[in-house]
Amino acid sequence: MHWNLFKDHSFFFWKRAHMLCSIDRVNNQNVSGWCFDFNAPSEPVKLRFVIDDREIGTILAADFRDDLKSYNLHPSGFCGFDFQLPPDIPIKHHKFLYIYVNQIKKPLRRIPSNQIPRVMEGILPKIFFMHIPKTAGISFDAFCRLHFPKEKAITQIQTLDKSLYPSLTREKNYLSGHLTLKDIGEMFDISGFDLLTLAREPFRHLHSHIKWVKNIASDPTSGFFLSHHPVVREIALKLNRMDFGDKKQLREMVDNLNGIEIDFFDNLQTRYFLNIRPEKVTVADFENAKKNLGRFKIIGLTEKFDQFIDTVCSVYRIEKIKPTVFNRSSGRNLFSYDNPEIRSILNPLVESDLLLYDFITRSL
């Protein structure tokens, strides 16, 4: 089962005794996530919330979580929770928030109050985050979800039915998804919204993206694998058959990309900044992407993520809480992206991205 998927996407994830728990969101208004006893997953567990030495409420972890069900991480998916903190107990006046489960005396989690973000109040900014895959976008999404009221932020919008798109810009203040500038311009009226995004050093970005797609097929029987489009599953299986230590195979991969593989791996970052969908990215496409940078209020670098957060907090007057970094790749590298010969082989896939990244870096 793909527990690592939820380690990557959750604010906290932990295993203690026979309990599996995750917190997706915690701020001064609510705590949400999922929790269950894997020895008795059909019996909802009871969570108790304590501030310092005062119990402030309990809740059954019995809400339906479609993601846990679809990924076969829980048999029914009924293990979610969303606990509302009492508004008359200001977190900042206390030291710790404790979370207990059932009758276990030791808390599952102790969260210092100075690490609990405060939700923004008053007139909220309007932000559309263009989430380029594998650039720390999930970490930025998590940061914003903590600071925007729950009902005002939505992420992963590329997974929604497109008929819902027109209502999002009316009802939400923070939107984020794997949508190119072309998609955003065609499907949304973002007048009044600020565009933000993150870019990453291209060779590292390409490696991370290939590794992530490859990981989809690490267990072809899993719900995680089956939840992806058949075309994506085939690409993932193909990558798993490769020996990335073999330079000949690596060169053949670069030379023989076709169909959606080109969209996935050919100068992906440049593609996101374009108003068109090119078959192959060219120098002219780079020039167009460079012009479109001016449409963004803030562009950050993955390598300087904390600086990006500092800028966002300063511009929008958001209280600074050190962000947690999610979805960071683990395990061995597929290939040495610092090796000159490897870089030469991969260069066609990052040629425009390198120019764009250099331009963004010099502009900061």
For residue 7, give the 3-state DSSP assignment.
helix
Q: Which top CATH class is 3-115? A: mainly beta
pTM of the predicted structure, to 2 decimals: 0.87
> Going along 52-121, which residue ranges are E strands?
54-60, 63-64, 78-84, 96-101, 109-112
Adjacent-strand bridge partners of 99 = 49, 109
Find all residues with CB under 8 Å of 87, minimum gap 6, and list them: 29
Calpha distance 267→354 (Å, rounded): 9
DSSP 8-state class, residue 329: -
**Alpha-carbon torsion 285, 282, 338, 263, what sign?**
positive
Give the torsion through C-alpha atoms of 52, 57, 60, 61, to 10 deg. Answer: -50
Going by C-alpha positions, the residue among 239, 271, 263 that lies closest to residue 252 is: 239
Asked if 292 and 269 touch (Cβ cutoff 8 Å), the reply is no
> For position 17, what pLDDT does the model report?
58
Going by C-alpha positions, the residue among 274, 49, 150, 42 that lies closest to residue 283 is: 274
Calpha distance 47→60 (Å, rounded): 6
Calpha distance 315→311 (Å, rounded): 6
Give buried/exposed letters for 133-170 (b at 16+ CB in 10 A, else e): bbbbbbbbbbbbbbbbbbebbbbebeeeeeeebeebbe
Residues of the chain with pLDDT under 50: 1-14, 325-327
* Per-domain residue ranges of the chain: 3-115, 118-364
For the domain bounded by 118-364, which CATH number is listed? 3.40.50
Q: Could you give the C-alpha distances from 52 to 96, 116, 245, 320, in angstroms and in order?
A: 5, 14, 53, 23
> For position 104, what pLDDT does the model report?
86
Calpha distance 85→26 (Å, rounded): 10
Instruction: Tell me the CA end-to-end span of the chain in Å, nearest whole number.
Output: 42
> For position 13, what pLDDT does the model report?
47
Give buried/exposed letters for 345-359 (b at 16+ CB in 10 A, else e): bbeebbbbbbbbbee
pLDDT in tens, 137-146: 999 999 999 9
φ/ψ of 21, rounded to 5, equals -140, 155
